[in-house]
Amino acid sequence: MLRATALCLCALAVAHNAATAQSAPPGIPLFPDCDKPDLLAHGRPMMMLVGPHLGMGISIAKDTFHAGEPIRLNVWADNQADTPAGVDTCWDLDLFKSRGFEILDRDGNRILSREGARACNADPGVARLWVCHRSFPIPIPAHSCVTDDDYDFSINLADHYDLPPGEYTLRLRPKWREMQHVCESEESGPFHRQPGDLTFTVTP
């Protein structure tokens, strides 16, 4: 989706090295465009299709962090089309970093970001609006996968979430564009880790 506006305001209807990178669970193959050593240095991603030819996903480069240490999560975008395409910094990357995944504690309880918790506690309807102040397309060549440690393709979870020592699960949210799922977890019933989950531990 290509948009270039100074302000986006919409109601949503809509490896370190290979030794430290997480292994994909059995039966979860990599998207072929993403199976590159330089990309896998950011961790082995869990991906999903978010459009006819666009895949997006997340990775973390290691599975153990000390309390207070940056916890870098990388966002991936894979253009599977035969022609170049773009991901928008607002509607795709920033929105995905905010709502494209959820963090669960060891009991399966969803951990909202500090900003999300304030918005949902005050009025769940507030979180239905998406606002950002920078919007431009980042081109991705045909059949190419992209991730990086820069602002657009990564986020330090410790800057946005309260994550005391414990075990955590990262899970993609297939319905991340749907406003009724902004404040609620997509987990239902007893908590069970799924093949597409990533896990990490914060130690004291």
Backbone angles phi, psi at 179, to 5 degrees: -65, -25
Among 1-5, 51-55, 126-130, the minimum mean pLDDT is found in: 1-5
pLDDT at res. 129: 67
Q: What is the mean pLDDT of the chain?
A: 83
Whole-number pLDDT of residue 45: 95
pLDDT in tens, 67-76: 999 999 999 9
pLDDT recorded at residue 116? 84
Note the pTM of the prediction, 2 decimals. 0.82
Q: What is the pLDDT of residue 43?
A: 95
For residue 110, the model assigns a pLDDT of: 92
The encoded tokens of residue 32 equal: 């072929």
CA 172 – CA 185 distance, rounded (Å):
11
**4 or 28, higher pLDDT:** 28
pLDDT reported for residue 128: 62
Instruction: Return the half-sphere exposure (C-beta side, CA atoms, 13 A cut-off) of residue 189.
Output: 2
Kindly state the average pLDDT of the residues 156-172.
Answer: 97
Amino acid at 173: R
pLDDT in tens, 116-140: 888 888 876 655 667 788 899 999 9
What is the model's pLDDT at position 195?
A: 83
| Long-range contact pairs involving 1-5 (C-beta distance under 8 Å, separation at least 24) | 1/86, 1/87, 1/88, 1/91, 1/92, 2/86, 2/88, 2/137, 3/88, 3/90, 3/91, 3/135, 3/137, 4/135, 4/136, 4/137, 5/90, 5/135
Tokens representing 176? 């991340």
